Amino acid sequence: MLRKHRKARGLTQAQLGDRIGKSKSQISDLERGRNIMRVDTAKVISIELGCDIDDLYEWAYDDPKQDLDG
């Protein structure tokens, strides 16, 4: 999800990393799922990319309503 939003803004991994204080390799690792994106990092990225934090995560729900109801 991160890659899609980054590319939509026309940014390279290096450019996004420079803007948020992360390396190109850290951005790559986040995009490839090698590292789990912390919420504080997601907040900074979402502000930079102009999207919601939720847009940066892939949520794996079979039935979202069921998960919300417990």
What is this structure's pTM? 0.79
Radius of gyration, CA atoms only, the chain: 13
CATH superfamily of 2-69: lambda repressor-like DNA-binding domains (1.10.260.40)
* Per-domain boundaries in the chain: 2-69
pLDDT tens across the length of the chain (70 residues):
899 999 999 999 999 999 999 999 999 999 999 999 999 999 999 999 999 999 998 776 666 565 555 5
**DSSP-assigned states of every residue in 2-67:** HHHHHHHTT--HHHHHHHHT--HHHHHHHHHTSSPPPHHHHHHHHHHHTS-GGGGS----SSHHHH
